Amino acid sequence: CRNHTGAVIDDCRSCTSSATQVVGLATCSCSEKEWIFFSKRLNFSSANTTCNSINATLATVRSAADRQCVVSLNLMSSCISKDDSFPWIGLNHIDTYQHWIWMSDGNSEQLNSSNWNKGSPNGDRSQRCGWTALTSGLIGDRKCTERKTFLCERRNNGDSFTK
């Protein structure tokens, strides 16, 4: 993983610049995707807008390989605090309560219970947006208005994620 300057992250001194609030704290290439973690706390809609501004979407954590990439991102950056380790991802059921939708492709999906963090989903109809645990790659649901860190993805084409 690399920080916003492209340097390999090996300690927190390498990624504490104020620029991280703008362009992301760390990025990893994994599973044909570039994963970009943002330490700035935004609501779900604003996080999605920020991802779109760098030609990305909120991340899709659909497969075991995706979950492993999420865990790798966390392991590569000692700069991600415990409080920031549950970022928004592109999973929601804002328009429908029955099906969760991945923003990257718009496909609805019945999610296997093994994908969910313990206690999620909890049936609270106000919790319509998804997050992932960076320690496990498992997913959960929260109110979309909460301010959280977030994880973007885009197809890995070799370009830098900075503008």
pLDDT in tens, 68-87: 888 877 765 556 777 778 99
Q: Angle at the Cα of 145 (from 66 to 85), degrees rounded to 5? A: 40
pLDDT at residue number 121? 83
- Per-residue pLDDT band at 93 (split at 50, 70, 90): confident
Residue 143 pLDDT more than 90? yes
pLDDT at residue number 17? 33
Q: What is the pTM of this model?
A: 0.78
- Sorted by sequence, the CB contacts under 8 Å of residue 82 that are 6+ apart come out as none
Cβ–Cβ < 8 Å for 138, 132: yes
The backbone region for 18, taken as left when phi is positive above 0, alpha when psi lies in -120 to 50, beta otherwise, is: alpha
- Per-residue pLDDT band at 21 (split at 50, 70, 90): very low
pLDDT at residue number 126? 85
Of the two residues 42 and 3, the one the predictor is more confident about is 42
- Sorted by sequence, the CB contacts under 8 Å of residue 154 that are 6+ apart come out as 33, 34, 36, 54, 55, 56, 57, 161
pLDDT at residue number 134? 85
Whole-number mean pLDDT of the chain?
Answer: 75
Residue 16 pLDDT more than 70? no
Residue 48 pLDDT more than 80? yes
Residue 25 pLDDT more than 50? yes
